[in-house]
């Protein structure tokens, strides 16, 4: 228990500091924009590049693991969508957002920092695979559902191009692709560049956790929808169980990979859910 507290306290402590700063400093939400930009376009891509470029290529080619974890996220998405729709009676566009809340974990901001701290460097490859394929899944599912059930029907080609553009231009994905290419080529990064990347990587986790705390403080829920507790229960209970089941059924993975799959699935919903809901309402 002492080890668990020692691991968890810094994470939740930094989130709490961010939350208190957001409540006490009374700075406008716009003041967080540059920190978010730094995280999304600089620090976290550097983190994923550093993780992947140092990982043996054969570990990054374990497709059965990626299929198992992505399938668990997809099945959990379907469960959350059905639960949300049953409790709220919402249409498919809103139900898709409810499915997102119940299945898409905070794999970008919290995932790498938590798994690497808890499980060590051996968790780098499974963490990166889960992140990349979950992002591809969600960035494919959500635009497709929104386009199919939206008032304005889009051609299939336009939907496909939108999905490809969102995936291939995502900074995290670009950093991950660069990391895989680095691992495949075996080219050593110059020491000056490597030191810079290491500094950026070290700053990613505390900055991301602080940003989460501030975001929670500045964006309180105006009302609690009755389906939300059920969706959170699906995310925190059903998703980890689903991840463990799928990875165990496929089998043949080191214990640390199984632990990483469950730990990533245990993470709370990502802030992407809030951004997607805002975009959906405005569109």
pLDDT by residue (tens digit) across 209-245?
Answer: 888 888 888 876 666 677 888 999 999 999 999 999 9
* pTM assigned to the model: 0.81
pLDDT by residue (tens digit) across 166-197?
Answer: 777 888 888 888 888 888 887 788 888 889 99
Q: What is the pLDDT of residue 283?
A: 47
Which own/partner contact pairs does 231-234 have at CB distance under 8 Å and 24+ positions apart?
A: 231/80, 231/83, 231/84, 231/98, 231/101, 231/102, 232/101, 232/102, 232/268, 232/269, 234/76, 234/79, 234/80, 234/83, 234/102, 234/103
Range in 16-25, 82-91, 141-150, 196-205 with the lowest mean pLDDT: 141-150
Which CATH number is 2-25+33-282 given? 1.20.1530.20
Residue ranges per structural domain of the chain: 2-25+33-282
- Sorted by sequence, the CB contacts under 8 Å of residue 40 that are 6+ apart come out as 171, 172
d(CA 16, CA 42): 24
d(CA 98, CA 2): 36
Inform me whether the pLDDT recorded for 281 exceeds 50.
Answer: no
């Amino acid at each position: 228990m002492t080890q668990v507290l020692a691991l968890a306290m810094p994470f939740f402590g930094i989130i709490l500091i961010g939350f208190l700063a957001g409540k006490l400093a009374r700075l406008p939400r716009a003041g967080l924009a540059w920190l978010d930009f730094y995280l999304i376009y600089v620090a976290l891509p550097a983190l994923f590049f550093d993780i992947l470029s140092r990982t043996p290529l054969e570990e990054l080619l374990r497709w059965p693991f990626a299929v198992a974890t992505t399938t668990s996220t997809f099945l959990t998405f379907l469960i959350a969508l059905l639960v949300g729709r049953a409790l709220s009676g919402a249409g498919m566009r809103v139900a898709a957002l409810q499915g997102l809340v119940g299945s898409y974990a905070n794999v970008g901001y919290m995932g790498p920092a938590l798994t690497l701290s808890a499980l060590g460097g051996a968790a780098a490859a499974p963490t990166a695979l889960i992140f990349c394929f979950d992002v591809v899944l969600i960035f494919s599912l959500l635009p497709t559902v929104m386009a199919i059930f939206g008032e304005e029907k889009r051609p299939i080609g336009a939907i496909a191009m939108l999905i490809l553009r969102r995936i291939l231009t995502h900074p995290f994905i670009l950093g991950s692709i660069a990391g895989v290419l680095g691992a495949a080529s075996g080219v050593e990064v110059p020491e000056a560049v490597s030191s810079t990347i290491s500094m950026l990587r070290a700053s990613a986790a505390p900055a991301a956790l602080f940003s989460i705390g501030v975001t929670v403080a500045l964006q309180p829920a105006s009302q609690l929808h009755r389906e939300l507790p059920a969706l959170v229960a699906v995310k925190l209970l059903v998703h980890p169980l689903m991840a463990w089941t799928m990875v165990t059924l496929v089998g043949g993975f080191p214990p640390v990979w199984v632990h990483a799959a469950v730990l990533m699935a245990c993470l709370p919903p990502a802030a992407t859910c809030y951004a997607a809901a805002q975009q959906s309402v405005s569109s």
